[in-house]
Structure 1
Amino acid sequence: MFDNIVDILCSIKDDQPELRQSLSPQTDLNNDIGLDSLQMIQFMLKVEDQLNVVIDYDQFDYEHLRSIDAFITFLISCQPQAQPVYEDVKQ
């Protein structure tokens, strides 16, 4: 899951090609990476989509962004996404 998070972060911060080498499980998602508010929303949406989880924002806390490891631990506690309704629609 760490590699997936790194891939997502690098796709959002594509103006920083050196980012991948600097990321570790202890990297602070707020202070070390510097996602602005729009990038943070993009990050969360991509995480939900690509990792097939539903982030429970009632349980989500700033502490979960203290490290990539802390974020992964939080994600493991999240429920998998149900299949989107529109997949059932025949065209």
Structure 2
Amino acid sequence: MYEKIVDILCAINEDQPELRQSLSPETHLNNDIGLDSLQMIQFMLKVEEQLNVVIDYDEFDYEHLQSINTFMDFLKSCQPREQLLYEDVKS
């Protein structure tokens, strides 16, 4: 999960090629990486999509961004996203 989150962060911050080397499980997602509001939305949507979870925004709080580890702990409490069947998509 950590590697996927790092990949997502690097994809969103593609103008910072040195970012990957500076990340660690203790990296603060807001203060250390400096995502703006649009990037944060992109990050959350990509996390949901790539990690197949549904983030409960009623439960989500700023404290979950204290580190990548803290965010991963929060994600473990999220429900898995239900996959749509091909028939559901066609209808």
TM-score, scaled relative to structure 2 = 0.94
Give the Cα separation in 1 of the matches to 2:4 and 2:76: 13
What are the equivalent positions in structure 2 for 1:26-45 lying under 5 Å apart?
Answer: 26-45=26-45
- Show the 5 A alignment for 1:1-80: 1-80=1-80
Q: Which runs of 5+ in 2 are unaligned?
A: none
Deviations 1:2-43 (A, max 9, x none): 000000000000000000000000000000000000000000
| Secondary structure of the corresponding residue to residue 16 of structure 2 | coil
Q: Which runs of 5+ in 1 are unaligned?
A: none
Identity of paired residues, percent? Answer: 74
Question: Quick one: distance in 1 between partners of 2:53 and 2:21?
Answer: 26
1:50-91: CA deviation from partner (whole Å, max 9, x where unpaired): 000000000000000000000000000000001136x32449
What's the TM-score once normalised by structure 1's chain length? 0.94
Letter in 2 for 1:30: N
Runs of 4+ in 1 over 3 A off after TM superposition: none
